[in-house]
Amino acid sequence: MKEPSPPSEPEVTASGQGGLPEEGRSSGAPRPIKKRVLFAAKLLLSLALIAWIIGAVDWSDIGERIAQMSWVFIAVAILILVQGVVCSAMKWQQLLAVHGAPYRLWTLIRWYFIATFFGQFLPSMIGGDAYRIYRTLDNPAGKMSAVLAIFVERATGLLALVSMGWLAGVIYYGQTGDVVARWLMIVGSCGAVFAIASFVVIIKFKLLGKIARAPKCPKNVRALIERAWEYRRSPWRVTAVCLLSLWFHATRVGIYAMLFWALGEPQGVIPVLIAITLTTVVSMIPISLNGYGLVDGSFILLMVGFGASEEAATAVMVLFRGTTIPVSAVGGVFYFADNGSKPPRKSEAAGAIRAEERTGE
């Protein structure tokens, strides 16, 4: 029996993230038109930004730089990206286990590669996160666990990157007085104060418990709050997830820094980290198609402001985009190879570890 195609209903953001289909969604006529108009607007903006990038640099110089560099660096970059997928799958595994839904790591690695494939080549149709939710939706612990695990994985990753970027901004501002680093430091500090204050208020006044016990609290919100409390019982797993997030982004920054060095124009790790942090935040703005053009242009402008040449910054983005293609293609191989596998079942979610096989849980 062939594996059923993933649901096409989940909406997908520009960063490739998706959610569950909404029950009882109204089928008003304007919605398909609005979706097509929005898609067209994002596509036009991405094409315009890419055209601007193409016309702003000397491509003969970029070609010479790339031709002169050792392709060993490309191979190393690809290997680092592969380990990044494995690292992310390990995070996903730990978060599912927190909710009592243990999965085999190899199963999650395959699904994460497939999700990467969808996010790279089909950003506006399915989305990698939607596929991962779909694959674990019928896990032994319930549907809410599948959704919450993806959300927390994304949130911890973003928190780790922003924390690293904020620290880099503080250091770089102290060294150079750079205006971008100053604003990153100010905005990051304000955000941290607000987040910590909100957390203290929530804990002190037990707001989550009060919300969950409120008679008018929606059933899904109550279930979400109850599931969220499970993280308090798994401090070591949560710590492991945070450390894996830091490692993932540190290696990603290393790829960019290595490519600058390979092109003969080395840049410091700190400005590269600041640029990646800000471009990641920019990529969350849903105004372009999967961030194409918007992310690239933002990174180039930031790195030029930090002292890199336009040609070197553009070459790094071209090389990074290029190295993601073979890594994503691995997911395509896994997807088509999985066509003969069994679909998820409520009785035993595909890839989940049965209770009698668990050890050390």
Of 284, 244, 245, 232, the residue nearest 159 (C-alpha):
245
CA 6 to chain CA centroid, nearest Å: 19
Q: How far apart are CA 343 and CA 294, in angstroms?
A: 37
User: Quick one: pLDDT at residue 3?
Assistant: 44
Alpha-carbon torsion (99, 103, 105, 107), positive or negative: negative
In DSSP terms, 12 is beta-bridged to 18
Q: How far apart are CA 276 and CA 199, in angstroms?
A: 27
Helix (H, G, I), strand (E, B) or coil at 352: strand
Q: How far apart are CA 117 and CA 357, in angstroms?
A: 31
CB contact at 8 A, 340 and 96: no
User: Quick one: pLDDT at residue 42?
Assistant: 87
Cβ contacts of 351 within 8 Å, gap of 6 or more: 103, 104, 107, 108, 111, 135
The pTM for the full model equals: 0.83
CB contact at 8 A, 324 and 120: yes
Query: In a structure prediction context, what are the per-residue pLDDT tens digits for the chain, which is 361 residues long?
Result: 444 444 433 333 333 333 344 444 444 445 688 888 888 888 899 999 999 999 988 999 999 999 999 999 999 999 999 999 999 999 999 999 999 999 999 999 999 999 999 888 776 555 789 999 999 998 888 888 999 999 999 999 999 999 999 999 999 999 999 999 999 999 999 999 999 999 899 888 888 888 888 888 888 888 888 888 888 889 999 999 999 999 999 999 999 999 999 999 999 999 999 999 999 999 888 888 878 899 999 999 999 999 999 999 999 999 999 999 999 999 999 999 876 455 554 434 556 666 545 554 4
Cβ contacts of 83 within 8 Å, gap of 6 or more: 251
Q: Which two tokens stand for residue 207?
A: 């707001």
Q: How far apart are CA 215 and CA 188, in angstroms?
A: 37
Name the burial class of residue 182, with classes exposed (0-12), middle (13-18) and buried (19+) by CB atoms within 10 angstroms of its CB: middle
Q: How far apart are CA 283 and CA 87, in angstroms?
A: 22
Q: How far apart are CA 259 and CA 80, in angstroms?
A: 12
Q: Cα 252–253–259 angle (5° rounding)?
A: 95
CB contact at 8 A, 7 and 134: yes
Helix (H, G, I), strand (E, B) or coil at 135: helix
Q: Cα 63–77–259 angle (5° rounding)?
A: 45
Of 300, 336, 353, the residue nearest 55 (C-alpha):
300
Q: How far apart are CA 320 and CA 303, in angstroms?
A: 15
Q: Which two tokens stand for residue 96?
A: 């599912």
Q: How far apart are CA 49 and CA 279, in angstroms?
A: 14
In DSSP terms, 103 is beta-bridged to 352
